[in-house]
């Protein structure tokens, strides 16, 4: 699977619910809109407890 934001890169984190991937660069960046993060955080997701995308975006979600 390829990265959602960088189609030339392979994905390292995958949203199981939506089938979207993010590369290493997206998972390491600090910009909320351009980074690896839950695409629909307000809606219930059965995969959330085991979701790598959710965990990698935790520090950005906690910022004011």
Q: What percent of the chain has pLDDT over 70?
A: 94
Consecutive H or E run containing 56? helix 52-56
Burial 22-44 (b: 16+ CB within 10 A, else e): bbeebbeeeeeeebbbbeeeeee
Average the pLDDT over 7-18 and give the result: 93
Q: Is residue 3 part of a domain?
A: no
Q: Is residue 8 part of a domain?
A: no
Q: Is residue 6 part of a domain?
A: no
Is the pLDDT score of 10 beyond 90? yes
Residue 22 belongs to domain spanning: 13-62
Question: What pTM value is reported for the model?
Answer: 0.77
Query: What pLDDT is attached to residue 40?
Result: 86
Q: Is residue 7 part of a domain?
A: no
Is the pLDDT score of 60 beyond 80? no
Domain count, the chain: 1
């Amino acid at each position: 699977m390829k990265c959602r934001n960088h189609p030339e890169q392979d994905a390292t984190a995958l949203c199981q619910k939506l089938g979207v991937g993010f590369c290493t660069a997206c998972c390491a960046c600090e910009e909320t809109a351009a980074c690896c993060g839950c695409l629909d955080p307000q809606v219930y997701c059965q995969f959330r407890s085991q979701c790598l995308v959710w965990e990698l975006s935790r520090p950005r979600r906690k910022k004011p």
